[in-house]
Structure 1
Amino acid sequence: MTAHYSTPLRPRQSAGLSCYRAFVTLPTYDRFIGPLQGYSSSTKRGFWRLTPEGLSFAKANPALSAEQIATIALLRDEPESDPQVVAAEAAPVPQSPDERLETALRELSDSVASELLETVLEASPAFFEGLVLDVLHAIGYGTSRKDLERVGKSGDGGIDGIIALDRLGLEKVYVQAKRWKGTVGRPDVQAFYGALAGQRARKSIFITTSSYTPHAVEFAATVEGLILVDGKRLTELMLEFGVGVSHRIIKVPKLDSDYFDV
């Protein structure tokens, strides 16, 4: 790593500080950029001057070579951070009472959703199949709860439920419910879709407490009338439509401006 100068390096006085004019290659600059940062500042194009820190360093190291001094001069000064600005940036943005209430509600919902999923995983497969039908009915499937029929058995690998969308049962939705902890792959989804062929089904829902592999999601996207619902979405629906959860009412006071309009 070398430095190239048009003339021997000589100090010049400018505003009480030593100035140096030099032409230094980038490798030389890089050699000292780490330990010597902040020892100089630029006065104008092609000129650099040592800062007070740089002068102190030079006095403490009189044996510095011309290359080292030139490199010190090339290093740019970094402004010190304003403690007040840093503190202001680090300070959290204050929230209004309504915003804090919404944040707390989201945290409560997330906590209950996790608790719901754990409880569902501990339930029996038969109970889970009934729960799935309750959720679908709460969403709006079936004219009544009696229109939702549980037909599957644990481990059958076929259809677990049938939902009649009208009183005569002319249009139906077929349901598969998997209470699993592992991911559901394409073979399981494809087997369910194949079981629908004999039923001439046009609408079907596959629901699991876990998640689906990318290949399973890709397969569902290529066929018609098949919807996949994973555990996260299932608990969201249970919270939204009040299945397996109860609610408490908290009265939030608000100024009644109409009362004061006279």
Structure 2
Amino acid sequence: MGIPKYNEMYLPLLKALGDRAVHTNREMADTIAEILGITQQERQQFTLTSGVSVFSNRVNWACTYLKKAGLVESERRGHHRLTDEGYQILQNPPQLLDNNFLCKYPSFQDFYLAESSSAERSSSPSESDETPQDLIDHAFSSLNQKLADDLMAEIMSKDPSFFEQLVVKLLQKMGYGGSVSDSGFVTQQSNDGGIDGIIREDKLGFDQIYIQAKRWDPEKSISRPDIQKFSGALRDEGASKGLFITTAKFSDGARASAEKQHIVLVDGKRLTRLMIEYDLGVSPIAKYEIKTIDSDFFNGADE
């Protein structure tokens, strides 16, 4: 069913606190997951920017919004219970418990409209069903997708030899060969035998990874025969580890063949993701920090 939006958790959250007892974030999330049928796999999906659980993040924001409306209160950080107003709402819930309904409470309206204005969103509460974290993640994903597209365009504007050098540099950025500058190299194009590059797997060079690098049209697919040809080149070299990396895609047959031959495949989409992750061909233009409470500080751990 997918993970509900934060405002779809309002009523389940009130139900999770329906016994009027104090419950922790974890207890509250467990009960909401049971009510909504959220699977363990769904609970282990993480946000792009903060690395926290998407489900837990939305539960926490739902709790924040209900607190702003005065339906939930916190005895201390991470421990919540229903207020009298929250209990009354739970006994006779509206047909739709959403931000429009919560705006009947002045404290929520002041908070919500101020937040909407700062985010340059509509002042209509019903139009917002994403938490600030969701908005950040979506923006981050969109920016990275555009960057990936721009990277691919730049790669395709270069000649194949540039791409082979790029692949070796990427593996070095990823830590193969340690800090040794000559840990990888591109083979001679006239006599490479189907091997485009070689890189050490460790600092001392006890093992090597043989590379096939194909700068092909991103809309085309590498097929099974291409993998088999590379596998034959690996056997000729007595190699046990191969990496086939391309700007294109891989057919299902190619993937099945590579799995049998223990050849690692990297297609165009994964290639650009790795370049972004390891800062190859890209540079930062801005950095943002998302901060949270330092529990150790408030618990006296630094004393």
Q: Read off the aligned partner of 2:181 and give its amino acid letter.
A: R
1:195 paired residue number = 233
Q: Structure 2 regions of 5+ residues with no counterpart?
A: 1-95, 101-124
Distance 1:184 1:155 in 2: 22
Q: Which residue of 186, 191, 209 maps to 2:224?
A: 186
Show the 5 A alignment for 1:1-262. Answer: 91-143=126-178, 144-153=180-189, 158-181=194-217, 182-224=220-262, 226-252=263-289
Of 113-122 and 152-161, more deviation after overlay is shown by 152-161
- The structure with more strand, counted as a fraction of residues: 1
Query: TM-score, length-normalised on structure 2?
Result: 0.51
Distance 1:238 1:154, change over 3 A: farther
1:95 CA displacement: 2.8
The sequence identity of aligned pairs, in percent, is 37
Distance 1:255 1:183 in 2: 45
Q: Read off the aligned partner of 2:243 and give its amino acid letter.
A: I
Query: TM-score, length-normalised on structure 1?
Result: 0.59
Distance 1:173 1:256 in 2: 45
Deviation readout 1:16-73 (Å, 9 max, x if unpaired): xxxxxxxxxxxxxxxxxxxxxxxxxxxxxxxxxxxxxxxxxxxxxxxxxxxxxxxxxx
Distance 1:253 1:217, change over 3 A: closer
Report the RMSD for the aligned CA atoms in angstroms. 3.2
Q: Structure 1 regions of 5+ residues with no counterpart?
A: 1-83
Distance 1:98 1:204, change over 3 A: same
Larger radius of gyration: 1
Checking the alignment, whether the CA contact within 8 Å between 1:159 and 1:176 is kept in structure 2 is yes
Q: Helix, strand or coil for the counterpart of 1:248?
A: coil
1:188 CA displacement: 1.2
Q: Helix, strand or coil for the counterpart of 2:189?
A: coil
- The structure with more helix, counted as a fraction of residues: 2
Count residues in correspondence.
Answer: 176
Distance 1:97 1:197, change over 3 A: same
Checking the alignment, whether the CA contact within 8 Å between 2:177 and 2:204 is kept in structure 1 is no
